[in-house]
Amino acid sequence: MSTNRTFTMIKPDAVANGHIGSIINDITHAGFKIIALKYTKLSAEKAGEFYAIHKARPFYHDLVSFMSSGPIVAAILEKENAIEEFRKLIGATNPAEAAEGTIRQKYAKSIDANAIHGSDSDENAQIEGDFFFTADERF
């Protein structure tokens, strides 16, 4: 069953480059409702936990070190068919392959510093949202 919710993070590169406002603008203009929102920073340990699914990949260490290198913005978003719609809005993992007008095409510079995260399934959206937000932080 679809929950119509997804989880996102504006990654350290996009925060450092001053894109928080533009990205939130794109997200709300695309029809997503903000359910929860937080400006925070991941420790290396927490980033490792969040991306544990990629532990065996060659880029895991760089990914964890990048994701803990500076502040991020975490959010839970709601829209019909949220997972798929949001993946469409952010574009391909590699910004060089991301479609025109997508968030990664507009704000990301490389496959490792790719501006934004979007959950890949309802199950992971639930897990990732729970990682950052308690029940009384959602509206």
Q: Which residues are catalytic?
A: 117
Q: Please, what's the b/e burial string for 94-122 (b: 16 or more CB within 10 A of its CB; e: otherwise)? A: ebeebeeebbbbbbbeeebbbbbbbbeeb
- Which residue, 78 or 120, has its beta carbon nearer to Mg ion? 120
CB of 136: closest distance to Mg ion in angstroms? 28
CB of 11: closest distance to ligand ATP in angstroms? 7
- In the complex, the residues that contact ligand ATP under the rule CB under 6 A are 54, 59, 63, 93, 111-112, 114, 117-118, 120
Among Mg ion, ligand ATP, none, what does residue 69 contact (CB within 5–8 Å per kind)?
none
